[in-house]
Structure formats: structure tokens, C-alpha cells
Structure 1
Amino acid sequence: MKTRLLILTMVLLFSGLFKAEAQTVESKYGLDSVQTILNASLYIEMVKQGNYKEALTGWRYVYKNAPAYQKSTYINGVKIMEGLYRATKNEKYIDTLMMVYDNRIKYFGTDRKYNTGWILGRKGGDLFQYKEKDIASVKEAYDIMKKSIKIQGLKSEAKVIANTMEAAKVLVQNNQIEAEEIIDNYLLFMDMGKKQMDIENDAAKKDNINNARLNVEQIFFAAGVADCETLSKIFTPKFHANHDDMVLIDKILRMLNRQECEDGALYAEVAERKYTLDPTADAAHNLARMFIKKKEFDKSKGYLVKSIELEKDADIKADLHFKLANILLMQGQFSDAKSNALKAARFRANWGAPYLLIGKAYAAYSKDYGTTPLEKQSVYWVAVDKFLKAKAIDPECSGEARELINTYSKYFPRKEEAFFEGIKEGDTYKVGAWINESTKARLTE
């Protein structure tokens, strides 16, 4: 009661400031500024106390008579309608909640930060949350959120993107949208998340964006359209009907690559068609992926080399050289494996994986190097040198590097063997052939 009297006194003191204005022309205060300010003050106090039922009358007056008065009318309107719905489960409050969002767009939709796109995201999210069992409402919510994302672009909230994906899952499972639509959403949202992470400097925000991408991926898999067989059923007839459509071809390949479906018949058809229509680095890489998955490594090497020749992006070239190095290592072509691993490392700074690969190549070659046991075992010195370098420059490689160091250090030459060769601990030692590196002697008991 004391609060109400205090508010009333303050309103009466300042009402004269607005009286003339209220009598001449309707302003943001409505036709009666005194009543607008009084009701706003009273209902805001009730909202602060969580008394939404008591707040409703004053809020309704301001909402109806002075809709342009304050943005907080709509912020508090959301709180009131949600609070009353939770208390009563009466869906009339959800209907009013939707109107609150619509009026906020009408009167405050040009707000610099919380603009129409942002408001639509919240509106669609609330409709989906409160009417998730009503398919018609889910579809309406989905359309609202899609419009929000179109307006907001990279400024879209992670929650809105997740809600949109969740709504799409419900709709595709109830045959309300085509499977291709949720695939399009998945590709769009994953790309948006990557771009958001690329431009974001705050570590905590980067984590939030990454978690959102993981959430989108999880929802997509749960939708039941992500397995290779289903993707093939969706896209095979579309591709056969439009086999020159590069937009469709790229979409199919991106989706099949993401789901590691490179060994299927559809992938072979689409990848080969793309290479025929547009023999780019990406097209060659797709064919290389296909042959790697099929374990036809000689064919894959040719397309990797072609892709490397055509590719302009340094980071992608690093990956291509590394893939080629792995195949060469597996085939026992150690010198060529080393050469490509070094090129990969040059294209991407502080990347430890190429040095792990070189160390493995050295270790695998040890049995063919030299004639004496010490010469063969000396190769483990240079192998461990590479593992140490990988560990030093790349924290992501440190675990594997430690394991490899521990494994191959056990095979270092023994002091007794080294003594007869005139080699002491710490001596500089040259390993020749294609390895061609100097190292420090390390001996075991």
C-alpha cells in the first residue's frame, strides 16, 4: 500500500509536465499521460515482485493506450504472459504473447540491436517451446525463426538456430517438410557457425558457438536422414533429373563428404560428373576421397596430385599434401612421404602431424638402412627427433608424440655396441641416404 501511495504522489507531482501535451495531441504517452505513467509505475512494481496477476491490469492499460510509450512494455509483457501461462496453462496467454511480439516489432522493430529479426527469433522460439505438440504451431514457429535467421544472418542467436533445427526435425518426422530441407538447414547452420567462430575473438563465446554447432549436428542425426542409404535415396533421383546442376552437385558432395559416404555409387556418379563439368581442385579432391575410401590408392594419388596443382588455398594444400604423404608412407615410399609431409608443414605453421609422419617413415625405414645393428638403430634417433619437434610445436600432437618417443627410445643403440663403433653419448652422428640428417647419440644400458 505504501508503494502505491508513493508512486501516486510522484505521478501527480510530474503530471503537469505532460498535461498540455496530452490535451492537444496523442504522443507516446497516449491521450492521458497521467494514467499511462501511473499504470506503468504500478505494474512494473508488481512484475518486480513476480506478481503477474496483479500486474496484468496496469500493463494492459499501457499496452492498449500507449503502445509506443516504452520498450519495457513488451519486455515485461513477455514476462507477464509467460508467468500467467505457467500458472494456469491457459493458452490464451500464449496467443497474447504472440501479439506482444508483433506489437514490439511495430513500435520498436528498428531498435539497433534488438531489431525485427531478433524479436522474430524470440517469438518463434517461444511459440515452439509452448506449443511443441501442435504440429501446425511448430510449422508456424519454424517459419518465423527461418525468417529471423534470414534477417539476422551471422548475428543469429545460437538458441534460435538450435530451436529452428529442432523444429525442422519434428516437421520432417511428421512429413511436413521434405528431408532435403533439413539437410539444407544443417549445411547452412554449420557454415554459419564456422564463420561466427572465425570472426569471434572471445574464447568463451567461441565455445558457445562450437557447442551450438555440436547441438545442430546432434539434432540432425536424430532426425533420421543422415545415414548414407537415406541420403542416396533422397539425392539419386534428383541428380539423375538434374545431372548438370552444379548447385545440386555441390550440395550432394558436401553432404556425402560430411557423412563419409564416399564409397557409394551415388558419390562416384556425382564426383565424376563434377570433374567432367568443372575439373577444379575440389572436383579432383572429391575423386581422390572416393578412391581412398575404396582403397584404390594408386588412383587416389593421381587425383591428389592434380588437386594440389590446381589448389590456391594454402591451408587446403597442406591437407592435400598430408593425405598424399600418408598414402605414400603406407605404400613404403618413405622419401616421397617425407617430401610431401614437409610441404604440408610449410603450408601450415606449427602443425605437428607432418613431423609425426616423418618420424614414422624414418622408423619404418630403419631395417633397410646401413649394415650394422648400430647403423639401423641410429635411425631411431632421428625418428625421435621428429616426434620431439611435433610435441614442441603442437599441443594437439603431444599425447601421440609422447607415446612414440617412449616406444622408439627403447630401441636406441646400447652403450656396448656404440663403444665398439667409437661412439659416445652426445656425439654428433649423421644418418645418410634420403634421410640425410645429423643428430645426437643417445645410448641405452
Structure 2
Amino acid sequence: MKKLLLIGLVVGLNAAAIAQPGWNWPEDVDKAKEKNALYVDAVKSEQYATAVEPHKWLLENCPDLNESLYINGIKIYEGLADEEKDAAKQLEYQEMAMKMYDDRIKYFGDEANVLNRKAFSAYKYYKGNKAKYQEMMDLFKKVFELNGTEVLNNNLVGYMDVVRRYKLTGGAITDEEVIEIYGMVSDIIAEKQAKSGNDKYEKYQENVDKLLTATVDVNCEFIEGKLVPKMRETQDVKMAKKVFQLMLSAKCTDSPAFAEAGELVYTTDPSYGMAKVLGIKFAAAGDMDKATKYYDAAIDMSDDNLKKAEIYMNKAQMYASKGMKPSARSAARMALANDPSAKEAYTLIGNLYFQSYNDCREGVSKVDDRLVFIAAYNQYAKAGNSELMAKAKEQFPSIGEIFELGLTEGQSMTLGCWINETVVLERRPN
């Protein structure tokens, strides 16, 4: 009776094993389980050569046993490849590892995920093998088509390096096609960074930029001759982003197309950073209306007082360069309202006052005319700029000019003109 119970228990266990979810045991379940245990133990102890025979038996007799058969198979053949010194044998092991990825897809699907992982392994093993470059190009293209923003981070730089190696060894790819791939990879990096908020993606983009310039001679002439016309024709935002990024990388920011591309990007993706850049570019080009438009937009889009102060200073400098002194002072004061430590704002206001002597001079009283320099001195003092303070003080009224008008040092005086401030009368050094 006990013997019958034992037999029944074994049969029951085998039946349970066969019915185990995720496992497709063959008819000879005992042998299959034995082979599985042997190769798994060998893999765990990194005895990859020992794992080959039982693993091979399972591949031949029950290829759909379980997904782990191929996950571990990759470990076996990559481990053997890493240990192998003979180049031909090493390549053979590497190709077996690649076959494990393909067979995993054949029996268990999940193509996007598996190819995502295969691409990085292929790059790792084949990047120095020119004969494999076309194969890798096809693989990476499919990986990016299937995965989009879910592509593995390692494959971002890997794809651009494969492109570089392929082109520089005579591969059939045009400069425009290289730019197209670069743009796609850059877009994915930008989306990943926006989603995660992780600054590490800036390093990925930096490496991708370097690989592009190592692959194609990206200069201003190339961008303006081949990419800008397409951007203007299509008004495509993605093309505009490429033009903007490439011009930034190639230092073509003085080109009118740089701001043109930036404006096109801004229409669909307004941001503080882009508004700031466009404000600076239009200010430099003398287009105050557009510069003001983008500076004001940057201020409105930021909740950061320091960033606002920076933009107000940009506005102040723009107005000052155009001789618009009251507007420049107003903008500088707004900078100080947002950032009281912005000493450059005091210096700018001091310069505006110092430069107003001829504007405000009436020629009636030498003391009144020179009050602008006292006002300038006060601003320089707030900035802590001793050099400009000394320069302003040299232009104060003389003691003789003060006494001649019956005035007294230390008394308050009103400075009119556009400045309209009250200052304390002081004399210049003897």
C-alpha cells in the first residue's frame, strides 16, 4: 500500500511539474529536469563550458521549455566569448549569443524588448568588426522603430557610434541620413530628460553631438545650404530643432537662420530658455520690438526671481545701448527688485547718470550741472565699485564753485532732468 502511495506521489509531482505555469516540459520530463538543473547550476557557478551540453540538449528537445532557457543561453555564450582567446572561436560564441536573442523572440515573442537588449550586446561585440556594420545598422534601426522613447539609454550613444563607424568605413549612408538619425536620437534624449528630469541626459546629448561632428562635417555652410532650405519649405518643427541644435553646436548663432529656427520651435514649444535666447539674439540684431517681446515672455514664464532679474538686466543693457536712459533705469530697478544682490544693476544706473552730463547740463550753474556725477557716485557706492566711485568723484563740483554760489557741503539738492533725484552736495578732491 505504501509503495502504491509513493508511486502515486511521484506521478502527481511529475504531473504538477509538467503543468507548472510558464514551463512546457517534454514527455521525458525527468531527463529534461535533470538537464535543466545541471546547466543552471553550471551557469550559477560560471562554469559555462560545462553548461553547454545539457543546455544544448534542452534546445534540441524542448526549445519552448521556458524563456529562461534563452536568457541563460546568452549568459553561457557571452561568458565563453569573454574567456576565449582565439578570435574565430570567440566570434562563434558571440554569434551563438545573438542567436539566443533571436530564438527567444521566435518562441516567446516580446520582440521590442529583446531586440533592445540584443542591440547593446551586438554593439559591444561587433563595434570593431567592419563586416558586421550593416547588420548592426539594420538592427539599431529596427530597435528604435519598435521602442521609441523606451530604447535603452546605452543604445542612444551606441546607435550614433555605429552610424559613425559605418559611414567612415564606406557604408552607403548620406550626410542627410546621418542628420536624420541624429535628430531622432536627440529627440528621444530630450523626451527622456523631460520625463525624468535627470541631468544625466545632457551627457548623452553631448556625446551624441560629438559623434555627429566626427561623422559629418557640420559647419555653417552645410547647415544653411542643406537644412535651412528644408526647414523653410516645410516649416517642420523637428527640422527647426535640428537646425537650432546644429547651429548652436557649430557656433553659427550669428546666422539669421538661428533665430528663425528658434522662433519656429518657440511657436509649438515655448520655454523660458528659448525666449531668453531669442531675446538676446534680436537685441544683438537691433530688433528691439522682437527682443522686448521675447524678454517679456521669458519673465512671464519664470517663477524664479533670479532668472527674472537676469532678463531685466538684459533689457536694461539693450535700452542703454540705444540711449533710452529712463527705460534702462526702470529695467535695472526691476532687476534689483527681483535680486537685491544684483550689483551690476547699480553700476549700469551709475553709468547712465555719469553719461547724462551733456543731456542734463543747462550751463547756468556749474554745481547743478555736476550733480549727475554725485548721483552716479551714489550708485557706484551701492555696487561697491571703488574705481568708478573715484572716477565720478573727480567730476564733483570744486569747493570754490560751491562757495561761489553760497552753497554748503552736506546740503541736499534736487537733480532734475530725467534723473529727478535728491543728492547730498559734496566737493571733489583737491
| TM-score in terms of structure 2 length | 0.67
Asked if the contact 2:377/2:388 (under 8 Å) is kept, the reply is: no
Q: Is residue 205 of structure 2 the alignment partner of residue 213 of structure 1?
A: yes
Q: Distance in 1 between matches of 2:92 and 2:375?
A: 85
- 1:261 maps to 252
Change in CA separation of 1:334 and 1:101 when aligned onto 2, cut-off 3 Å: farther
Change in CA separation of 1:36 and 1:323 when aligned onto 2, cut-off 3 Å: farther
> Structure 1 stretches of 5 or more lacking a match?
1-12, 111-115, 385-404, 424-429, 440-445
* CA deviation after TM superposition for structure 1 residue 412, in Å: 10
SS in 2 for 1:244: helix
Asked if the contact 1:304/1:320 (under 8 Å) is kept, the reply is: no
Asked if the contact 2:312/2:334 (under 8 Å) is kept, the reply is: yes
Asked if the contact 1:28/1:67 (under 8 Å) is kept, the reply is: no
The 5 Å alignment of 1:331-370 reads 331-339=322-330, 355=342, 358-368=345-355
Change in CA separation of 1:375 and 1:360 when aligned onto 2, cut-off 3 Å: closer
Q: Is residue 119 of structure 2 the alignment partner of residue 124 of structure 1?
A: yes
Q: Distance in 2 between matches of 1:83 and 1:34?
A: 28
Change in CA separation of 1:438 and 1:422 when aligned onto 2, cut-off 3 Å: closer
Larger Rg: 2
* CA deviation after TM superposition for structure 1 residue 17, in Å: 1.7
Q: After superposing the two structures, state which structure 1 stretch, 282-291 or 117-126, moved more.
A: 282-291
The 5 Å alignment of 1:248-397 reads 250=240, 253-259=243-249, 260-264=251-255, 267=257, 271=260, 297-298=285-286, 300-305=287-292, 314=301, 324-339=315-330, 355=342, 358-368=345-355, 371=371, 374-383=374-383
Q: Distance in 2 between matches of 1:409 and 1:14?
A: 99
Q: Is residue 181 of structure 2 the alignment partner of residue 178 of structure 1?
A: no
- 1:396 maps to none
Asked if the contact 2:326/2:418 (under 8 Å) is kept, the reply is: yes
Q: Distance in 1 between matches of 2:375 and 2:117?
A: 70
Q: Once superposed, what is the RMSD of the aligned Cα atoms?
A: 4.9
Asked if the contact 1:328/1:336 (under 8 Å) is kept, the reply is: yes
SS in 1 for 2:371: coil
Q: After superposing the two structures, state which structure 1 stretch, 160-169 or 78-87, moved more.
A: 78-87
Asked if the contact 1:341/1:354 (under 8 Å) is kept, the reply is: no
- 1:94 maps to 94
Q: Distance in 1 between matches of 2:300 and 2:76?
A: 54
- 1:421 maps to 410
- 2:55 maps to 59
SS in 1 for 2:172: coil
Q: Distance in 1 between matches of 2:30 and 2:44?
A: 21
Asked if the contact 1:381/1:412 (under 8 Å) is kept, the reply is: no
- 1:165 maps to 160
Q: Distance in 1 between matches of 2:377 and 2:300?
A: 40
SS in 2 for 1:421: coil
> Structure 2 stretches of 5 or more lacking a match?
1-8, 357-369, 394-398, 400-407, 424-430
Q: Distance in 2 between matches of 1:342 and 1:14?
A: 89
Paired residue for 1:42, among 34, 38, 41? Answer: 38
Asked if the contact 2:73/2:100 (under 8 Å) is kept, the reply is: yes
Letter paired with 2:63: P
Paired residue for 1:244, among 223, 233, 239? Answer: 233
Change in CA separation of 1:332 and 1:210 when aligned onto 2, cut-off 3 Å: same
Letter paired with 1:227: N
